[in-house]
Chain A
């Protein structure tokens, strides 16, 4: 099984900050990496697919990058609505795995 390691586990930031979350795969997954946002009591929401493709209606302050084993999610200017938990997710050979999550908190 491919393991996904997200860092940091928790991130404290202020409105307007630029933040980056990193996700590392235990082996190459090409560009099969997605990012999700989850708020308490809600289902996850797809933000980025295929490493860098922005999902429809997701604000352009969200961007994804990377390939192979190292990937990033960047929020260019953190907004109040962005305080949530973020998960990466990989795909390889009919198997999907999520990272452990990064909680973005208000500083």
Chain B
């Protein structure tokens, strides 16, 4: 089965660091772009950035550049989202998602989604 499985919910304090992960299976992880999407409580979807695990080419939304780091470990088919110093405003559900591709042609939509990781930042 093609799937993305994310790490579990996190509760952290402001100023703490955090890395959450997204593990792919059932497909060749290194040949698909993997994106991260934020959804704050009761709000809409925000694209944060995207990585190509094959060569770690990474692009960020201007809104998130410098605020988070996206990385990948292709040896374990995992994409990661990292914060060095969390803020209360980082409280949100975070989704990873695979960019749809057919015959090597990227179709610019996200066809497989992880189940989401809820991050709560509170003192």
A96 touching B113 in the complex, CB below 8 Å, given contacts A32-B108, A50-B108: no
Q: A1-B62, A94-B50, A94-B59 are in contact. Are A46 and B44 (CB under 8 A)?
A: no
Chain A, range 30-52, C-beta contacts under 8 Å to B: 32, 34, 36, 38, 43-46, 49-50
Residue with the highest number of chain A CB atoms closer than 10 Å, among B47, B109, B113: B109
- B122 on the interface (CB 8 Å rule)? no
Tell me if B's interface is mostly helix, strand, loop or mixed: strand
Q: Nearest CB to that of A98 among chain B residues? A: B45
B95 contacts A46, C-beta separation under 8 Å: no
Residues of B within 8 A of A32 (CB): 108
Question: Closest chain B residue to A29 by CB distance?
Answer: B108
Residues of chain B having any CB pair with chain A under 8 Å: 35, 37, 44-47, 50, 59, 61-62, 95, 97, 100, 107-111, 113-116
